[in-house]
């Protein structure tokens, strides 16, 4: 019977994979040490990857999100439902046994009888205790392929659950670091407002002594008010991010808040020559591959419909008009039988179902390949971001230092009456913009680290050889 399986022999879809990540080792893209053909390993232990950032508040939020996020709860329920479907399908491999005990009491009337005793006929009692069994042997692999397809679909549902968990955790981390970046910008703006007040006091003092005009005072006041408005605007963004994190944690936004603390997280070492085997741990890739295998099994289910179905049935039980004699030998009755059914003409319906199954299989293969290609793209995107943003941060730090020197020179020249207050405004604006850009670049760097972890399926072994 195991030989009568009409599902095509399954093999994982082929896919051209790169020998190395191009963006990881600039100038040496031929590094292949430790690389091999990727295979799904979504059950690999990923660990608490967010702990690498060394932030206790983030660790607490991640734990709450994993326990109470409603998207995770939905994915878990879907997995449990898929597992129940497997049990339903597996039950078809066994006979079905039913019992239908019955008791009836009746009396037959005879209106046409001329006997004076016709109306005095006695009522009769009939008792039955039957047990019926039926079984459809799986000669053509219909049930086995159905069980296999449902099992693979359940595994894919589990992969969906893991992917949702990873997505939620990455989103919590990304939103949290955005909040911290806004706190850093708010501290920067607050210190800038304090510096602008000092500049305003300088302009007012020079105006009162007749050295400068009231125009300098007005310019200083305008710059101060504008910067205070920018600081207030950050509060709107921070509140919305807090609300988004509360949603991820399964909490009402009204009862959730995050203490103010500037961004302190720093990037960590990236494994040298990150192998493509890390992509094996991506749950979405594993889920896509399992759906391909499930679609392949469904072809066997469709092809089995061309062959006849055989049903074996039997019945045994007791029948008696007396309860005392119900379970005696003479009251025992039985019957066995077999049924063969075959569709002789269906106007091509089975052929169309088989064609549909094959087309569905091709679609899942294409989706699997697209998922893998997307995974490589996401890794390359974040590796390139981390590589280039590191250089950009060095350049931006130099720009901040130059802006600070420019402001110091402009302030000294204004105090000496050499330049107008416009030079101070230009220098202060340039310094503030460069400082805010630096904070944003640090946020992009940390966010890219989070997204790289997500792209790699949830982190890597920190014991691997690594470099910054």
CA distance 121 to 106: 11
Closest alpha carbon to 147 in 96, 79, 75, 83: 83
DSSP E strands in 321-448: the ranges are 332-341
Q: For 34, what's the count of Cα atoms within 13 Å in the CB-facing half-sphere? A: 11
CA distance 302 to 290: 19
CB environment 423-447: b (16+ within 10 A), e (fewer): bbbebbebbbebbbebbebbbbbbb
The two tokens of residue 77 are: 């329920």
CA dihedral sign, ordered 284, 286, 292, 298: negative
| Distance from chain centroid for Cα 253 | 23
- Counting DSSP H helices and E strands in the chain, the numbers are 7, 7
Alpha helices in 277-348 (DSSP H): 283-304
Residues, the chain, total? 468
CA distance 452 to 162: 17
Q: What pLDDT score does 33 carry?
A: 42
| pLDDT tens digit sequence for 131-164 | 999 999 988 888 999 999 999 999 999 999 999 9
Which residue ranges of the chain lie beneath pLDDT 70?
1-4, 24-47, 109-121, 269-279, 459-468
For 405, residues 6+ apart whose C-beta sits below 8 A from its C-beta are none
Phi and psi at 35, nearest 5°, equal -95, 150
Q: What pLDDT score does 464 carry?
A: 43
Domain segments of the chain as ranges: 49-93+141-289+361-467
Domain 49-93+141-289+361-467 has CATH 3.40.50.1980: no
Residue 131's DSSP bridge partners are 99, 316
Q: What pLDDT score does 272 carry?
A: 47
Angle, vertex CA 442, rays to CA 192 and CA 67, nearest 5: 110
Reading phi first (left if > 0) and then psi (alpha if -120 to 50, else beta), residue 415 is in alpha
For 37, residues 6+ apart whose C-beta sits below 8 A from its C-beta are 17, 276
Q: What pLDDT score does 31 carry?
A: 38
142 within 8 A of 304, measured Cβ to Cβ: yes
Closest alpha carbon to 434 in 410, 405, 408, 398: 398
pTM for the whole structure? 0.84
List Cα–Cα distances, 289 to 39, 161, 187, 368, 454, in angstroms: 9, 15, 48, 6, 19
């Amino acid at each position: 019977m195991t030989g009568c399986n009409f599902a095509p022999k399954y093999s994982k879809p082929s896919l051209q994979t790169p020998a190395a990540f191009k963006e990881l080792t600039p100038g040496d893209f031929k590094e292949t040490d430790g690389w091999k053909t990727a295979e799904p390993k979504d059950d690999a232990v990923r660990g608490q990857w967010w702990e690498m950032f060394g932030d206790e508040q983030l660790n607490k939020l991640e734990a709450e999100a994993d326990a109470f996020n409603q998207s995770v709860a939905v994915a878990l329920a879907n997995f449990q439902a898929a597992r129940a479907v497997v049990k339903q399908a597996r039950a078809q491999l066994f006979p079905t046994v039913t019992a239908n005990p019955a008791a009836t009491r009746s009396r037959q009337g005879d209106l046409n009888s001329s006997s004076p005793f016709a109306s005095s006929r006695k009522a009769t009692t009939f008792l039955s205790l039957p047990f019926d069994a039926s079984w459809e042997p799986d000669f053509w692999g219909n049930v086995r392929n159905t069980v296999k397809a449902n099992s693979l679909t359940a595994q894919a549902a589990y992969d969906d659950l893991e992917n949702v968990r990873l997505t939620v955790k990455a989103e919590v981390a990304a939103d949290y670091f955005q909040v911290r970046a806004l706190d850093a910008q708010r501290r920067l703006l607050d210190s800038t407002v304090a510096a602008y007040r000092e500049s305003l006091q300088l302009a007012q003092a020079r105006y009162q002594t007749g050295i400068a005009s009231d125009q300098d005072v007005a310019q200083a006041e305008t710059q101060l008010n504008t910067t205070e408005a920018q600081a207030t605007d950050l509060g709107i963004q921070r509140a919305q991010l807090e609300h988004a994190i509360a949603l991820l944690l399964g909490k009402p936004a009204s009862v959730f808040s995050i203490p103010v603390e500037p961004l302190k997280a720093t990037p960590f070492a990236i494994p040298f020559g990150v192998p493509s085997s890390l992509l094996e741990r991506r749950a979405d890739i594993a889920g896509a591959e399992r759906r391909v295998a499930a679609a392949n099994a469904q072809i066997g289910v469709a092809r089995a419909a061309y062959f006849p179905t055989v049903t074996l049935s039997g019945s045994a039980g007791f029948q008696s008009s007396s309860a005392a004699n119900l379970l005696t030998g003479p009251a025992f009755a039985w019957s066995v039988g077999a049924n063969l059914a075959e569709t002789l003409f269906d106007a091509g319906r089975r052929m169309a179902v088989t064609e549909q199954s094959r087309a569905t299989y091709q679609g899942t293969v294409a989706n699997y390949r697209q998922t893998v290609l997307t995974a490589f793209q996401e890794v390359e995107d974040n590796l390139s971001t981390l590589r280039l943003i590191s250089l950009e941060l060095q350049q931006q730090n130099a720009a901040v230092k130059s802006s600070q020197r420019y402001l110091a020179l402009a302030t000294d020249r204004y105090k000496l009456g050499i330049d107008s207050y416009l030079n101070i405004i230009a220098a202060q604006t340039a310094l503030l913009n460069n400082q805010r850009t630096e904070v944003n670049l640090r946020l992009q760097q940390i966010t890219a680290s989070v997204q790289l972890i997500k792209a790699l399926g949830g982190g890597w072994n920190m014991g691997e050889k690594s470099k910054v």
